[in-house]
Amino acid sequence: MSAPGAATHELSYETKVKGYLKVFYILIVITVLEVGVVLIHLPHLLTTLIVVGLSLLKAFMVGYYFMHLNHETSWLKFVAVLPACMFFYAAVLIPDVSKRPISIYSPEPPRVFLNTHSESNDPSALHGTAESPTKAPAAPAAPTNHSK
């Protein structure tokens, strides 16, 4: 007879061991699949995606069965899954951000000395006051009419 307040869905020791062994064997099969995927020399990206996916499946199974998340409340399951979702979100964003040029995030600072290695004898070129050679020449001033 069970104690008052004890869960009525208690499993026998043999049933628990069989369940753990079943999960253990599944984890072994997934590990063999991971090694097989690496050994068959698929394209690098495909190999990486398959191995990471299988590893995430193994991590889920370890957490769900061996860490007893299957017996926890839904709130605790949410707390356990939230970091995984954040990791997935970061893993999706990192390749995107790494392909962007840095100038999007921080513009290039203005150059103080434009022509420091100039062959010119003009002293203003050494102090950065000369016009940049990439600038278009200024337009001539419009003629003014001073007649009365």
Domain range list for the chain? 12-71, 72-102
Q: pLDDT (tens digit, 9 = 90+) per residue, 80-94?
A: 778 878 888 888 887
Amino acid at 18: K
For residue 11, which phi and psi values (nearest 5 degrees)? -100, 155
Q: Tens of pLDDT along 13-29? A: 898 889 899 999 999 99
Question: Tell me, what's the pLDDT at 127?
Answer: 53
Q: Give the whole-angstrom CA distance, residue 90 versus residue 69.
A: 24
Predicted confidence at residue 1, as pLDDT, reads 44
pLDDT < 70 positions in the chain: 1-9, 102-103, 108-111, 113-148
What is the pLDDT at residue 115? 60
The answer to whether the predicted template modeling score (pTM) of the entire model surpasses 0.75 is: no
Task: Tell me the C-alpha to C-alpha distance, in Å, between residue 78 and each of 59, 88, 92, 132.
Answer: 16, 15, 21, 59
